[in-house]
């Protein structure tokens, strides 16, 4: 069956692309939430949205198989499920994989994102998916995988699918993929330079005149969307609290044993304070490109105030200084990295009975 379609179309001189599509239990026609636990199964040819895919492909390709899997099944064992599905796909020797589109469905989005990344990394074959911008899987996978921006429901399925197919065809043909705003995918986290015909000075004055005259203008840079972090309730009784020191000023033991990056760090280090009343400047260095480290090198307490914390311990103001301090580098870092690290550090500290943190930065 797999070789058949290829041979037939070879008569035309052009090789017909073999596409495998991944769908969840709902779009795969197996059932609703009640079937979300179902493991992967294969159907030959296109199923459900696969028909829109086939239409968009036209004669260029054929949806040779569809793999359907329950959202819960995948979400509960992401790595294993990815491996399982890839094994099933392998059999069909796909030229490309299309997953979803997942629209606003979170678990489905994660499955699509993880699968596409896995296909890309392990099979070396293009894989594209589509999601609504609020799907949590967007931020998780946008860097690794082309995710077409879709609406929040399947209302405009064929449009979403046709954009996905366009990118797939370009990837297979090794053509250059245009800018996110043009091709319709979420930006992948890169910033590149182009050269405008006008210097920045001219552009900013023009933008000013347009805005002051009430004309429409387009900002070249958009503002971030920060999420709100709920404040933890205050510590009622400091005298029974264990407080930890955490810093993003890049203080590390000499030699930077954990090889934390000096900018855009993705790792943090955990360093023992057991038996230490003070930090010896000879034992530490500063690993951070964004500030002059002279003062911290002279006296690390300026960044990680172990000495003062020990005094507070002795005076009974706090019960205990936590026996480890956490350190990473905030320079030129991005919210995604520091958020991950912050969450990991908080989890560890919470498990170890720490109730408060003094966070120092530079």
Partner 1 sequence: MEVHVRLQLDIFNIKDIQFAGRTAIKDGVLYVDRSELQEFLGEDKRLSQVDVDLTHPGEKCRIIQVTDVVEPRAKTNGGVDFPGALGKIGTVGQGNTCVLRGTSVVISEHRRARDAPMEPSLPGHGAVIDMSGTGAALSVYGKTHNVVVVPRSANGIGLHDYRIALKIAGLKTAVYLAQAGKGLKPDEIEVYDLPPSSGTPKGLEGLPKVAYIFQFISGQFESIPGYPILYGCGAERIAPTILHPNEVLDGAIVTPYRTMGMEVFGLQNHSIIKELYRRHGKDLCFVGVVITVAHDIEQENERAATMAANLVKWTLGAEGVILTKSGGGIDEVAMALTAQRCEELGVRTFLALVHYPTMLSGGDNTTLFNVPEVDAIVSLGTPHARITLPPVERVIGKPIDLEEGPLASGEIKTTLHTVRGVISQIGSSGLIAVQS
194 is an interface residue for partner 1 by CB under 8 A: yes
Contact 246, 273 (CB under 8 A): no
14 is an interface residue for partner 1 by CB under 8 A: no
- DSSP code, position 121: I
294 is an interface residue for partner 1 by CB under 8 A: yes
197 is an interface residue for partner 1 by CB under 8 A: yes
The H or E element containing residue 322 is strand 320-327
223 is an interface residue for partner 1 by CB under 8 A: yes
Q: Which pair of structure tokens corresponds to residue 80?
A: 């294993």
339 is an interface residue for partner 1 by CB under 8 A: yes
Indicate the SS3 state at residue 229: coil
Q: How far is the CB of 199 from partner 1 (least distance, A)?
A: 5
Q: How far is the CB of 116 from partner 1 (least distance, A)?
A: 18
Q: Which pair of structure tokens corresponds to residue 291?
A: 């500030």
The only residue of 215, 216, 219, 351 in contact with partner 1, by rule CB under 8 A = 219
Q: How far is the CB of 248 from partner 1 (least distance, A)?
A: 12
CA distance 247 to 242: 17
Question: Which residues are registered as beta bridge partners of 131?
Answer: 103, 149
Burial of 162 (0-12, 13-18, 19+ CB in 10 A): middle
How many Cβ atoms sit within 10 Å of the Cβ of residue 169?
A: 19
Contact 196, 203 (CB under 8 A): yes
Phi, psi (degrees; rounded to nearest 5) at 6 = -60, -50
CA 52 to chain centre: 28
**Segment contacting partner 1 (CB under 8 A): 29-37, 65-73, 117-125, 207-215?**
207-215
**206-213: long-range contacts, CB 8 A cutoff, minimum separation 24:** none
**Segment contacting partner 1 (CB under 8 A): 64-72, 111-119, 163-171, 325-333?**
325-333
344 is an interface residue for partner 1 by CB under 8 A: no
Contact 15, 60 (CB under 8 A): no
Smallest CA-to-CA distance from 187 within 227, 228, 238, 149 is with 149
Q: How far is the CB of 219 from partner 1 (least distance, A)?
A: 5
Total residues binding partner 1 (CB under 8 A):
53
229 is an interface residue for partner 1 by CB under 8 A: no
Q: Which pair of structure tokens corresponds to residue 7?
A: 């041979």
198 is an interface residue for partner 1 by CB under 8 A: yes
359 is an interface residue for partner 1 by CB under 8 A: no
Burial of 207 (0-12, 13-18, 19+ CB in 10 A): middle
Q: How far is the CB of 226 from partner 1 (least distance, A)?
A: 6
CB closer to partner 1 out of 219 and 351? 219
Indicate the SS3 state at residue 305: coil
The only residue of 174, 213, 228, 236 in contact with partner 1, by rule CB under 8 A = 213
297 is an interface residue for partner 1 by CB under 8 A: no
The only residue of 209, 232, 235, 270 in contact with partner 1, by rule CB under 8 A = 209
291 is an interface residue for partner 1 by CB under 8 A: yes
Give the contact letters, 111-150, x = binds to partner 1 (CB under 8 A), - = no.
----------------------------x-----------
Q: How far is the CB of 292 from partner 1 (least distance, A)?
A: 4
Interface residues with partner 1 (CB under 8 A)? Answer: 139, 179-181, 187-205, 207-209, 211-213, 217, 219-226, 262-264, 289-292, 294, 331-336, 339
């Amino acid at each position: 069956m797999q070789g058949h379609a290829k041979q037939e179309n070879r008569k035309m001189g052009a090789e017909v692309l073999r596409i495998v599509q991944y769908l969840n239990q709902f779009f795969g026609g197996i059932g609703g939430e009640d079937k979300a636990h179902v493991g992967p199964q294969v159907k030959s040819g296109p199923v459900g949205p696969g028909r829109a895919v086939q239409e968009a492909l036209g004669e260029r390709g054929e949806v040779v198989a569809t793999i359907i899997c329950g959202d819960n099944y995948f979400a509960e064992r992401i790595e294993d499920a990815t491996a399982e599905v890839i094994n099933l796909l392998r059999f069909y020797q796909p030229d490309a994989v299309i997953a979803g589109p997942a629209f606003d469905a979170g678990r489905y989005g994660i499955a699509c994102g993880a699968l596409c990344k896995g296909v890309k990394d392990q099979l070396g074959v293009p894989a594209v998916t589509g999601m609504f911008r609020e799907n949590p899987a967007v931020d998780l996978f946008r860097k690794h995988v082309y995710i077409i921006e879709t609406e929040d429901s399947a209302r405009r399925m064929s449009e979403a699918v046709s954009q996905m197919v366009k990118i797939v065809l370009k990837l297979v043909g090794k053509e250059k993929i245009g800018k996110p705003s043009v091709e319709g995918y979420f930006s992948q986290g890169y910033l590149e330079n182009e050269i405008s015909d006008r210097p920045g000075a001219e552009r900013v004055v023009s933008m000013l005149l347009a805005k002051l005259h009430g004309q429409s203008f387009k900002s070249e840079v958009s503002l971030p969307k920060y999420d709100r972090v709920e404040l933890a309730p205050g510590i009622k009784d400091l005298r029974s609290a264990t407080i930890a020191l955490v810093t993003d000023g890049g203080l590390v033991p000499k030699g930077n044993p954990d090889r934390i990056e000096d900018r855009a760090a993705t790792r943090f280090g955990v360093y023992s304070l057991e038996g230490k009343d003070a930090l010896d400047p000879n034992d530490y260095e500063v690993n951070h490109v964004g500030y002059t480290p002279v003062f911290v090198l002279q006296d690390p307490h300026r960044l990680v105030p172990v000495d003062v914390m020990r005094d507070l311990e002795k005076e009974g103001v706090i019960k205990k200084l936590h026996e480890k301090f956490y350190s990473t580098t905030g320079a030129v870092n991005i919210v995604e990295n520091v958020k991950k690290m912050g969450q990991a550090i908080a989890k560890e500290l919470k498990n170890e009975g720490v109730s408060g943190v003094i966070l120092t930065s530079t």
